[in-house]
Chains A and B, each alone.
Chain A
Amino acid sequence: MEFVTQHPVLVVSLIKIAIALFVVMTALAYLTWFERKVVARIQSRWGPYWVGPHGLLQPLADGIKFLFKEDVVPPTADKVAYLLAPFLALALALTTLALVPIGPATISILGQPTQLVISHSPIALILLFAISSVGVYGVMLAGWSSNSKYPLLGGLRSSAQMISYEVSLTLSVVGVLLLAGSFDFYDIVGHQAGHWFHFLPSWEIFPQFLGFICYLTAAIAETNRVPFDLPEGETELVAGFHTEYSSFKFAMFFMAEYGNMITVSCLATLLFLGGWLSPFPDRWSWQLYLPGAGLIIGGLALIVGGLRSVQWNAKAVFPVLGLVCIGVGYLCTLHGATHPVAKAVQGPFWFISKVFLLLFFYVWARGTLPRFRYDQLMSFGWKFLLPLSLINLVGTSIFVVLGWHP
């Protein structure tokens, strides 16, 4: 306890990192499950089904499988770079999440008041971009050090693509920065509080719609997802930059990709979708019951769905999960919406809902669209997306200089 009082920041940060890592790694794993389920639904099939009820243990099984696979290192590979690449990719993907706040509340850990973010920095946005830019090294090194032809082509493609789209990505958010006048996520979200005409949330997506579209497109390209998944374009380059990676090193690239997806979705939520702010005006007090109500309804659906399932394990597991959901939902609404717990839940609830929506959009795109060709991708990035984000930037600057901004 003495140690805690002597180094409060260190201890609290470590605790928060541990919690965040656990949550993020679980989220990553279940994001793969979610993607497979949604894509399966789009393609009229079942997706993972047999490992656990409705394939809920599939991510775990995949992880174990990756761990036990033989770890093949090509004899001609450049060992240091080859081993460094996956670590770099995953570590950077996870580091960026340290800067993402998920709610406005101040909670108390071991008696120390602290915010819902691991590292609150006044230049968080710049820092985040700086870290994620280094991420391209992971891909580039992987492609280069494998000393094989398909990874080489994949690595070349990805470095070109990620660097190109990084420009549009960064430029598309500058409009928001101009309006908010800060790099701090708390200020940026705070600037989006309030409503226009008493019902339309004053989020940046409305004045910065062009910027939002540019951001979303560039973000998909930045994370190498369909329709910009050329670096690993399976039917062209086998597996792109990670063709020669096996076992857990491959899993690390995989996790890095999903981690990046979460990061860019979080960033879009914070910058354009009002972060943890509720879309409803404050005067509607019933909205404070929404998280609890959502959990209770979800729990009921789980119980009913589980009992009606033909799988015996779903029959056993889903009602229990449903009861847990109902219990947590009941706790959130127990003492009325003014209870501190109910209030602290509001921010993360809206934040996670928005991130989830964006992630769903990603998966949806994957189920629908074909893939661009390499040269088309580059010309789309440089000749269309970049001018668009520049126009957005110049337009916003004019409005800000003239003082017309909301």
Chain B
Amino acid sequence: MASSVLTVPESRTMVLNMGPQHPSTHGVLRVILELDGEIVLKAEPVIGYLHTGIEKNFEKLTYSQCIPLTDRMDYLANLSNNLGFCLAVEKLADIEVPKRAQYIRVLLTEFSRIASHLVWLGTHAIDLGAMSVFLYCFREREEMLKILEAISGQRMMTSYFRIGGLALEPPPGYLEWISKFLDTFAGHLAEYEDLLTENPIWKLRTQGVGVLKLEDGIAMAVSGPSLRGSGSDYDLRKYFPYSSYEEFDFKVATQTAGDVYARYQVRLEEMRQSAKICRQAIDRIPSQGPFRAEVRGLVPPSREEMKTSIEGLIYHFKIWTEGITPPPGEVYQAIESPRGEIGFYVCSDGSNRPYRVKVRAPSFVNLQALPRLVIGKLIADVVASIGTIDIVLGEVDR
């Protein structure tokens, strides 16, 4: 096959398909770049390569069967997704969750926020060439996953939060284990900072790169650390507290520069604040007490009750065979996931399956800011910008 490589292009620009198979598009994101040399003239994210139909599947499942699916959207912070969905259904059915369960929920969501940010930091660093940070982050995350496995039985797809409370009584000693981890975590965080924060190359690569103006961010409904790096302090844990967050003392990390470096600092500070919340939660969690609400017909009765009373057995059987039936109505419940505002709109027609569930996925919304961050920059900045908005493709495509 004779063909010349010296074909004269019709225009100066070159279209480059970055992804869906590319080492640093964090999954299967595809970005169509129009390049002049290495300068990006146009960037268009193309999504849908990981579409799983989760939202549609919700309509075919009972409420409690929906929870494992929420794990599979944002698989790095699945506990946040569990929490968002459970809170929405609890709001719909008007279930009051016991304080102990609320605190454990806070503890574990903040714990998984740290784990999620560790994955972000590691992948972001390896995108910019700092290979060791990646492995350090995953080393710590491994320990966190072990703790989550001990608590819930699963490393990643925990499905630990259930409607009305938690799935199981947490194992003995879990609080000590978490607090032992948090003791060492401050040192590990300092280790990452040693390698990156003051590193001149890291600063060169991140400062002034991928700048998101606050107005633009708000106009595009960007949320989470990506927006807080631009000067906003919008954090649902403070603005619309849920699950007793109002009782915890923590600062919302913000930076004003709006560049990749600012968002890096915000996320590092968030890890510190999350560790602080975890410690407070550990102090508050009572060692005894119910981990599930006691609501007839909506929350499964405790195992003891199921074994000893006929009424408990009947409710147990009813809930696990036909599911729960919240009253007709619709609710929207948003929580602060590691990526931003994750909202669950749940519409019930009074049957045992939701009529419609719509997820306001922060990754999906934040992704639309990508072209704004990269136009006029170089290819290397595209990589930094994809890393900095911290998307999870499972959540983008749902």
Q: Which residues of A contact B126 (CB under 8 A)?
A: 235
Q: Is the CB of A368 within 8 A of B379?
A: no
Contacts A145-B5, A373-B380 given: A368-B16 contact, CB under 8 Å?
no
Bitwise, A353-394 to B at CB < 8 A (1) or not (0) is: 000000000000011111111111000000000000000000
B286 interface contact, C-beta 8 A: no
Asked if B24 and A227 make an inter-chain contact with CB atoms under 8 angstroms apart, the answer reads: no
A344 within 8 A of B: no
Cβ B132 vs Cβ A42 within 8 A: yes
B379 touches A236 (CB 8 A): yes
A5 CB, nearest partner CB in chain B, Å: 52
Closest to A82 in B: B5
B167 at the interface (CB under 8 A from A): no
Instruction: Provide the bound-state CA to CA distance between A75 and B132, in Å.
Output: 38
Is the Cβ of A76 less than 8 Å from the Cβ of B3? yes
B238 contacts the other chain (CB 8 A)? no
A373, B132: Cβ atoms under 8 Å? no
Q: Tell me whether A229 and B5 are in contact in the complex, defined as CB-CB below 8 angstroms, given that A371-B201, A374-B380 are known contacts.
A: no
A121 to chain B: closest CB distance in Å?
37
Interface assignment of B74: CB less than 8 Å from any CB of chain A: no
B4 touching A45, Cβ below 8 Å: no
Residues in chain A near residue B135, CB distance under 8 A: 43-45
A-contacting residues, B11-30, CB 8 Å: 14, 16-17, 22-24
Please name the residue on chain A nearest to B4 by beta carbon.
Answer: A78
Inter-chain CA distance A4–B182, complex, in Å, is: 74
Say yes or no: is A147 at the interface (Cβ < 8 Å to chain B).
yes
**From B15, which residue of chain A is reached at the shortest CB distance?**
A149
Report the Cα distance A332→B36, complex, angstroms: 62
A43, A149, A234, A236: most-surrounded residue (chain B CB, <10 A): A236
In the bound complex, what is the Cα–Cα distance between A83 and B228 (angstroms)?
Answer: 52
Are A370's CB and B129's CB within 8 A?
yes
- CB distance B14 to A370 under 8 Å? no
* Contact A367-B131, Cβ < 8 Å, known A147-B5, A236-B24, A238-B22: yes
Q: Taking the nearest CB of chain B, how far is it from the CB of A334, in angstroms?
A: 44
| A144 at interface by CB-CB < 8 Å | yes
Contacts of B125 in A (CB 8 A): 370
- Given contacts A44-B136, A227-B129, A236-B383, whether A372 and B205 have CB atoms under 8 Å apart is yes
Interface presence of A233 (CB below 8 A):
yes
B105-149 at interface with A (beta carbon < 8 Å): 125-132, 135-136, 139
Report chain B residues within 8 Å CB of A376. 204-205
A94 at the interface (CB under 8 A from B): no
Residues of A within 8 A of B390 (CB): none
Q: Which of B127, B195, B378 contacts A368 (CB 8 A)?
A: B195
* Chain A interface, number of residues (Cβ within 8 angstroms): 39
Interface residue B336 (Cβ < 8 Å from any Cβ of A) = no
- Asked if B130 contacts A369 (CB within 8 A), the reply is yes
Q: Is the CB of A43 within 8 A of B201?
A: no
Within the assembled complex, what's the spacing in Å between the Cα atoms of A370 and B196? 8
With a CB–CB cut-off of 8 A, which chain A residues contact B201?
A: 227, 369-372
Task: Pick the contact of B378: A229, A370, A371, A374 (CB < 8 A).
Answer: A374
- B169 contacts A by Cβ under 8 Å: no
Nearest CB of B to A113, in Å: 48
Contact B383–A235 (Cβ < 8 Å): yes
Does the CB pair B379–A238 fall under 8 Å?
no
Judging by beta carbons under 8 Å apart, are B205 and A233 in contact?
no
Query: A219 within 8 Å of B by Cβ?
Result: no
Instruction: Determine the distance from Cα of A376 to Cα of B207 in the docked complex, in whole angstroms.
Output: 13
Residues of B within 8 A of A366 (CB): 131
Distance in Å: Cβ of A35 to nearest Cβ of chain B:
12
Which residues of chain A come closer than 8 Å to B205, judged between CB atoms?
A: 370-373, 376
Q: Say if the beta carbon of B219 comes within 8 Å of chain A.
A: no
Residue among A153, A230, A367, A370 with the highest chain B CB neighbour number at 10 A: A370
- With contact pairs A44-B136, A44-B139, A144-B5 given, residues A226 and B129 touching in the complex (Cβ less than 8 Å): yes
Q: Is A237 engaged at the interface, CB distance under 8 Å to the other chain?
A: yes
Instruction: Give every chain A residue within 8 A of B380 (Cβ-Cβ).
Output: 230, 233, 236, 371, 373-374
- Smallest distance from the beta carbon of B389 to chain A beta carbons, Å? 16
**Contact: B38 with A374, CB < 8 Å?**
yes
* Nearest residue, chain B, Cβ from A44: B139
Is B355 positioned at the interface, with any CB of A under 8 Å from its CB?
Answer: no
Contacts of B199 in A (CB 8 A): 369-370
On chain A, the residues within 8 Å of B129 by CB distance are: 226-227, 229, 233, 235, 369-371
Query: Does A28 have its Cβ within 8 Å of any Cβ on chain B?
Result: no
What CA separation (Å) do A167 and B31 show in the bound complex? 37
Asked whether B1 is an interface residue with its Cβ less than 8 Å from the other chain, the reply is yes
Task: Report yes or no: B128 in contact with A370, Cβ–Cβ below 8 A.
Answer: yes
Task: Report whether A370 and B202 are in contact in the complex, using a CB–CB cutoff of 8 Å.
Answer: yes
Bound together, the chains give a CA A234 to CA B136 distance in angstroms of 20
Chain B residues with CB under 8 Å of A31's CB are: none
Q: Does B90 contact A (CB under 8 A)?
A: no
Residue of A nearest to B379 (CB): A236
A400 CB, nearest partner CB in chain B, Å: 34
Q: Which residues of A contact B378 (CB under 8 A)?
A: 373-375
A-B contact pairs, 12 of them (CB 8 A): A39-B132, A43-B135, A45-B135, A76-B3, A78-B4, A149-B17, A226-B131, A227-B129, A233-B380, A370-B199, A370-B205, A376-B204
Q: Nearest 6 A-B pairs (CB), nearest first? A: A371-B129, A235-B24, A43-B135, A370-B130, A370-B129, A373-B380
Given contacts A236-B380, A372-B201, A373-B380, 14 further A-B contacts (CB under 8 A): A45-B135, A75-B3, A149-B16, A153-B16, A226-B131, A227-B201, A235-B383, A236-B383, A368-B130, A371-B129, A371-B130, A371-B205, A372-B205, A373-B378
